[in-house]
Amino acid sequence: MISLGHKFLLFDLDGTLVDSASDLTTSLNLLADELGHARLTTDYVRTIVGDGATKLIKRAFGEENFRREQLFRFLEIYGVHLLDQTCCYPGI
């Protein structure tokens, strides 16, 4: 039996290779509007990004307010807006 080794190269794009904070903020704010929550600033969103979309929503609106449907709605909104302003960091 011949084994063909596989090599993988993974990148963490958001916040590492690309600046996606503006599009994340837009998406969170559109969700905030739907949920009746206060809007967030991009500077604040930069401080709560990390550990996935579920954690992002919990940090944005409070863990006690989290509903699974919010995650799906956020992902739907972000899917529409993920390339509006996202760009590579200089030198990438």
Nearest to 90 by CA among 19, 11, 22: 19
Backbone angles phi, psi at 29, to 5 degrees: -70, -35
**Helix extents (H) in the chain:** 21-35, 42-48, 53-61, 68-81
Please pick, among 12, 14, 43, 51, the residue that the annotation labels catalytic: 12
Note if 12 is an active site residue. Answer: yes
Question: What type of residue is 28?
Answer: L
Active-site residue set: 12
